[in-house]
Structure 1
Amino acid sequence: MNLPTLKLLGTLLGLVAGAVFIWQAYTTFQARYVRPFDNQATFFDGARLQLPRELAGPGPVRVVHFWDPACPCNVGNQQHLADLMQRFKDRGVTFHVLQKRGTRGYLPDDLAGLKPLGNLPGSEHLPASPAVAIWDRQGQLAYFGPYSEGAVCNAANSFIEPILNALLEGRPVSASNTLAVGCYCPWAG
């Protein structure tokens, strides 16, 4: 074989190896992070949820964010949660986070104001996350369920802003059982 033929073979071999590498990276990314949005409904039942003793009873409106660091569905709601914290933290609302047991991860810097909870009685029965629970000023569960319905979460399709506004205006809310379709990851297990 002459030198130009060897160079051509080397170039072709390099192109094939590069294509194989790119294909492998793409399929690994897709298998790990890209999930199809399915229209399976999830039922959020808050009957067993209770505030821990240190938060129970009368006080501010309390929001608890249920967070699984491995869930790709968090991406959309984390910016929304940061916006909620900015809008409502000075209006008598406290924000807390319960991380899924056995997981590791760090919240983005704009969610550093979330107060971590070590435990929340009844949370082992959560069907999925991301989810949110809201207790009124008397310590009664007012809402439990997703931030919104659909593939993405933002203020335009959120259930949370109207509930927080109603509670802050002194109007009662009772929505602790919710059926919704959206991007969720199983909580149990």
Structure 2
Amino acid sequence: MKFKWLPVLLIIWTAGLLLAVLYAASNKAKYFDPQNVLHQSALSLSFDTVFVEALSQYNSELTGSVIHFQRSDCFCQTVAQSHINSVEKLAENHQFNNVTVTLDEPGILKSLVPSVPAVAVIDKFGKLNYFGPYSSGMFCTEGDGLVEPFIGKDQSAKTGATVISQSKGCYCNLNSA
């Protein structure tokens, strides 16, 4: 008789554990640009130029590059690593260079990048085409990718860059108070 309740207790325990994990995960999701600094900066007509000039301090040849922003102590970097790897492969397949920038030290670029992991695409003409998170969602998976459409041979930022600042997911905020 006592084993009749074992499957029921196991189902209740599993459901409770699943709810606890989902609750914890939902509390960990953060906004990519929590203080709207990037959002406000991107409204400026000169943002694209300022951003590329700040990037050129780290690497002088950015034409046709995908720039991967990271911080060494960011757990979300680990969570998103398979997606980051797939973006790097896609960039290589379209003859883009992959450049990694680690934002551990203060600087102009760190003030422009609100969170990591983040990515920027500089087209074949040296123009900023995309800047923002790799994806949205808690686990930053490939299916939720935001950057992939901007990596292509004939992609060009004709009307200015697409800057995604209003996204929620697993991000390490760099400028949080």
- TM > 0.5 between the two? yes
Correspondent of 2:151 among 140, 164, 170: 164
2: distance between equivalents of 1:69 and 1:39?
18
For residue 52 of structure 1, the aligned residue among 49, 56, 63 is 56
Counterpart of 2:114 in structure 1 is: 127
Please state how far the C-alpha of 1:92 moved relative to its aligned partner: 1.4
Displacement of 1:126 after TM fit?
Answer: 1.7
**Cα offsets for 1:66-106 (capped at 9, x unmatched):** 11111111122211121222233142111111112249xxx
Match of 1:80 among 75, 78, 83: 83
What is the CA RMSD across the aligned residues, in angstroms?
Answer: 2.8
Unaligned runs of 5+ in 1: 1-33, 104-118
Q: Equivalents in 2 of 1:102, 1:35: separation in Å? A: 29
In 1, the alpha carbon distance for the partners of 2:70 and 2:32 equals 19
Deviates more, 1:67-76 or 1:169-178: 169-178
**Number of equivalent positions:** 135
Counterparts of 1:37 and 1:65, CA distance in 2: 22
Give me the TM-score of the superposition, normalised by structure 1.
Answer: 0.60
**Which of the pair is proportionally richer in helix?**
2
Q: Does 1:93 align with 2:96?
A: yes
Q: Rg: which structure is higher?
A: 1
